[in-house]
A and B are shown apart, each in its own frame.
Chain A
Amino acid sequence: MDLSYGPKYSQFRDEVREFLTTHKHLQPPPKSEQRSEAVLAWQRLLIEHGYHSRTIPQQYGGFGAEPDIIKSRIIAEEFSAARVSTGLGGQGISMLVPVLLEMGTQEQKQQFVSATIHGEMVWCQGYSEPGAGSDLAALSTKAVLDGDEWVINGQKIWTSTAQIADWIFCLVRTEPEAPKHQGISFLLFDMNTPGIEIRPLVDMTGNANFNEVFFTDVRVPKHQIVGERGQGWMVANAILGHERGSLAPPDAARSRLNGVIQLMQSETISGEKLIDNPIFRDRLMKLQGRVLAMQYHDMRLLSARINKNQDVKLAKMIVKLIGTELRHELEGFAIDVMGEIGLAYEDNPYVRNGGSWQYSYMYYLGLIIGGGTSQIQKNIIAERGLGMPKEPKVGAR
C-alpha cells in the first residue's frame, strides 16, 4: 500500500497551485451561459495550460500531453480543493470526442474535435427512443440512403441539451434486414437541419433536463457517419462504458455527506440539534461508512489504471449501481432529518441549500434509471462479473 504520488509529482502539484492562485479570478461567474465569452475564454485558458483536453493531440486543438493518470488526478484534486471551475463538460466532450479520436476520419477529427473541446460546438446524444430504453439495440429511428443523403425518420427521447445543441450524434437503423445489433449506424448532423422538432420533457424535479426530438425526412450528407454502416452499436457501447463510471463520483458524495453533517449541526427541532438525535446520528454514521467504502474503492480503481496487474473487472462493474443508489439515499436522508422543512422547494422561504436536497434526491433517482438501470447493471454484474448465464432470448431477431 503506497498512497503517495511520489516526489516527481510534487513539482507538478505546485505548478497547478501556482496556476490556480494567479488565474482563479478569471473563472466565469456562477451560472454563466454556456456560450458566454467568460466561459469560452476560461476554457481556452485551461486547454492552453493543459488543465482540460490534456491528452488530446495539439493538431486537434488539445494540449497534446502523454496520458498520465496521476497528473490528471492532481489537477482534479487541486481544482476541487480551490473550488475552481474545471471547465466545460457535456456529452460532446466526454463521449463524442473520445469516439472520434478513435474511430473518426481525419476530416471528422479536424472538423469537430477542436470546436467541441473549446465549447464552440455543443452536442446532444440521440440514443434512447420510446421503444428502445434498456433494450437500446431495438431502436427503430431509420435512415434510408437516397442518393448522397441519409433520410432520417423517427423519434429520440431523454436528449439532454437538445435545445442548445448545434449538432447531434445519433444512432439510427440503416440495415433493417440485419440482426438488430448489426443494423445500426452512428450519424452526426446539424440540429438546424429542416425536419427536426424539439419538445422539452419536464421531469419530476420540475425542470426540463431532457427533451424529445422528432425527425421527419431529415436529410443528412452520406459521409457524416462514424465507422462503417452497421457498426454503430460497437461505437455506442464504447462510449456508454465511459459514461457509467462518471455518473456518481465518490468525492461529490463525501462533500454532500459533509453538507448533511453541517445541516445537522445547525438545525434544531424542539430545541434539540439534529445531530443530537441518536437515530439520525446512527443513520448518518451508516452512510458515512458506505461513502468511505466507495471512496477507497475509487482509489483501488485509480491504482489499477496505473498498476496493470491489479484485477478490478468486477470492481468496476458495481460503481454505477452502488454510486447512484448511495447518492439517492444520502440526499433522501438529508430530507428526512429536516422533517417538514425537508419538503420545502423552489420559492419556499424556509428552503435549505437552495432546495438542492430535494432536487438531487429526485435527480439521482433519474440517474439510477438512466445510463443503464440498476436492474441492467445487476444483469451485467451477474453475467460478466460472476459468470452466470444470460437470460434466454425471447423473440430475438
Chain B
Amino acid sequence: MEFGLSEEQILLQDSVNRYLTEQVPLDRVRGIAAGEEPDSAVWAELTELGIPALLVPEHLGGVGLGLLDAVVVAEVLGRHVTPAPFSTTAVMAALPLIDAGMEEELASIATGELRIGIAFGETIGARADAGITTNGDTLSGKCLFALDGFADCYLVAAADKSIYLVRADASGVTRNTLTTIDKTRTTCELLFDSAQAKQVSSDSTVYERALDAGRLMQAADTLGAAQAMLDRAVDYSLQREQFNRVIGSFQAVKHLCADMAADLEPCRSLVWYAGHAMDAVPEEATLLACHAKAHLSEVGQTIAKTATEVHGGMGFTDLLGLHYWFKRIGANRQLLGSPEQVREHAARIQGLI
C-alpha cells in the first residue's frame, strides 16, 4: 500500500520544477504576460520534457502517462505561474482525441506543433446571447471564454455535449481576445457562422471526462500556486522587520501562516486521489474532480488573500509580482464552472438532487 507519488512521478515533478525555476522565472512570466514574448516559446521548450505529449500514447510519439502524472505537472506549472496551454491541449483536448482515435492530431500535439483550445463554456453555463448550434458538420453561434487565445484549433462542445474540432482560421470563425485579470493564460470569444467542423464525439461521457480532467488540472494548478504563495509569505515574514523583530515572530502572523498550511496540506491528498480515481477508480472520478475543483477554489481564494496580507503593502504592489499567483488562483476558480456550480454537480451525481 502506497498513497502518494511514485519515484517516477517525483522525478517528473523535480525535472519540470528545475526547468521552470531556471528557464521560466517570474521575470520571463512578466514578459509573456505583457505580450513581449509569445507563450508558444515556453510550450516549444516544454516539449523537450515531454509535457505536451504526456497523455498521448507512445506509438504516436507520446509519453503515454495518466491523469495523476498530469496532476503532478499541473501543480508545478501553477507553482511557477507558467504561461502554457497544458490543461487545454495536453489534457482536455488529448483525452477526447484518444477516445476518437485521431492519431494525426495526437501526434501533432505530442510534438508541440498543434495547440487546441477548449470551448466548453456554453455547455457548462450558457450566457443569454451565446450558445452553439450544429447543423451537420457546421457550427453556428457564440462561445465566451474559450480557453487559449492562441490555439490553432478548438474543441467546441454543443448543447447536447457532442464535441467538435474546428480550426481557428476556418471560414466562418471569428476569434476575439477576451482580457481577464490572469495574464499568464489567455481566453477568447469564438463566433461561428456555419463554420466547418469535424465531430470528435457524440458521447456525453467523453465530454464529461474531459471536463472532469480540466477541473482537476485547475485544482492541481491552484494547489501549486497556493503553495508558492504560502512559501513566499513565510519567507517574507522571516525577512521583514518591524518593531525591531521579524514580523514572522508575531503570533498574529504565525497563525495566518499556520492556517494556510493547515488548510492546504489535506488538499494535496484530495488532488492526488482525484488523479488516481481518474486513472483507476472511474466510478469515483467525477465526484472527486468536482470536490477537488470546488475545495481548492475555496482554499486557494483564502490563501491568495492571506498570503498577500502577510506581505503587507508590498503584497499589493507589482514589485513582488505576487499578484500573478493571486490572479491565477482567481481564474482557476471562475473558469469551467464556479465552485457553487461544481458542488451542485457533485450533489446531482450522488442523487441528492
Q: Name A's B-contacting residues (CB within 8 A).
A: 1-6, 70, 261, 265, 275-276, 278, 281-282, 284-286, 288-290, 292-294, 296-297, 299-300, 302-304, 306-307, 310, 314-315, 318, 321-322, 375, 377-379, 381-383, 385-392
Contact = CB atoms under 8 A, between A and B. Distances in A.
Nearest to A5: B1
Nearest to B263: A322
B294 A289 contact: yes
B270 A386 contact: no
Interface residues of B, number: 48
Contacts of B288: 292
A392 B263 CA distance: 27
Contacts of B344: 278, 281-282, 285
A-B complex: 8 closest residue pairs judged by Cβ atoms: A382-B254, A296-B269, A285-B343, A303-B3, A378-B258, A289-B295, A293-B266, A381-B258
Interface of B is mostly: helix
30 contacts: A1-B6, A1-B68, A2-B2, A5-B1, A70-B1, A261-B352, A282-B344, A289-B291, A290-B266, A292-B270, A292-B291, A292-B295, A293-B267, A300-B268, A303-B3, A303-B4, A314-B261, A314-B265, A318-B265, A321-B258, A322-B262, A377-B262, A379-B254, A379-B258, A381-B262, A386-B257, A386-B261, A388-B249, A389-B238, A390-B249
A282 B298 CA distance: 13
A194 B44 CA distance: 82
Nearest to B275: A1
A285 B249 CA distance: 37
B269 A293 contact: yes
B340 interface: yes
A391 B1 CA distance: 40
Contact of A288 (B237, B259, B265, B346): B346
B326 interface: no
B190 to A, nearest CB: 31
B234 A378 contact: no
Contacts of A377: 258, 262
B319 interface: no
Contacts of B280: 1
Given A303-B3, A378-B254, 5 more contacts: A293-B291, A297-B266, A318-B261, A381-B261, A382-B254
A1 B8 CA distance: 11
A318 B262 contact: yes
A288 B349 CA distance: 14
A375 B259 CA distance: 10
B38 to A, nearest CB: 36
Nearest to A382: B254
A293 B295 contact: yes
Nearest to A296: B269
A1 B4 contact: yes
A4 B1 contact: yes
Contacts of A321: 258, 262
A281 B353 contact: yes
B291 A306 contact: no
Given A281-B353, A314-B261, A1 B254 contact: no
A281 B263 CA distance: 22
A307 B2 contact: yes
Contact of B4 (A276, A300, A322): A300
Contacts of A293: 266-267, 269-270, 291, 295
Most buried by B among A6, A296, A297, A375: A296
Contacts of B340: 282
B347 interface: yes
A222 to B, nearest CB: 42
Contact of B298 (A70, A286, A375): A286
Given A70-B1, A389-B249, A378 B259 contact: yes
